[in-house]
Amino acid sequence: MGDVLLERRGHVAVITVNRPHRRNAINRATAETIAETITALDADAAVRVVVLTGAGGTFCAGMDLRDFPEQGRPSVPGRGFAGFVQAPPRTPVVAAVEGWALGGGFEMVLACDLVVAAEDARFGLPEVTRGLAARGGGAFRLPRRLPYALAMELVLTGQPIDAARAAGHGLVNRVTPSGGALAAAVELAQAVAANAPLAVAASVQVVRRGPDWPDDEGFTRQDEWFDPVFASADAAEGARAFAERRTPDWAGR
């Protein structure tokens, strides 16, 4: 098996970083494979949600320092660290976290839209303890997901937090027993995938982009994404299905 596994579960695609012997640390080759996988999934209209996880009880320990001298930074132009953090898939992404999500691994989590974590999961940005900085989005994304003081503490001390504390501050959507994160993440992903694909795709873009919009421009900017949704065949189908008390049959158009 390769370092990156892809599994389809209906309209949900599960990407697994499969390097448990290195705690799923990312090298350049793995980053390029993840980027290629995302590009392929983005072109597949049948994929409505992506789940990202790691094999062997660890999410990701960040950059693989052992392979760095030969391969260089595990970053892909246009997609960033792990071929992921700068340009995640067009679809919603659910992180399924077991064990450690450190450094770039935590930054991968922060690039996801929803997070399911096992109770033994740990999240941290230890870069400053190694003379480095969290340049994979962690330094500016973390204050959007956690209170300012807590985000600053994590960035400046390099010390991790556990799943319970992360959930208490809204970073984690679901906390599961150890070993249960993937199943719960797929269940959450399937709940998203059951909804109208155009509406979900547009909504995730507005939620991702909206925090950077000035309030007086928000309504105008969202129209670019939402006007096609309201004019779609799926919008009409949703209304019909509601009136007829049946499950909608989404066409994705």
168-171, Cβ contacts within 8 angstroms, sequence gap of 24 or more: 170/145, 170/146, 171/115, 171/123, 171/145, 171/146
Q: Do residues 172 and 162 touch, judged by C-beta distance below 8 A? A: no
CB-based contacts of 166, cutoff 8 Å, min separation 6: 115, 117, 121, 123, 146, 172
Closest residue by Cα to residue 118 from 182, 162, 57, 176 = 176
Could you give the CA distance from residue 16 to residue 80 in angstroms, rounded to a whole number? 18
What amino acid occupies position 128? V
- Residues carrying an active site annotation: 107, 127
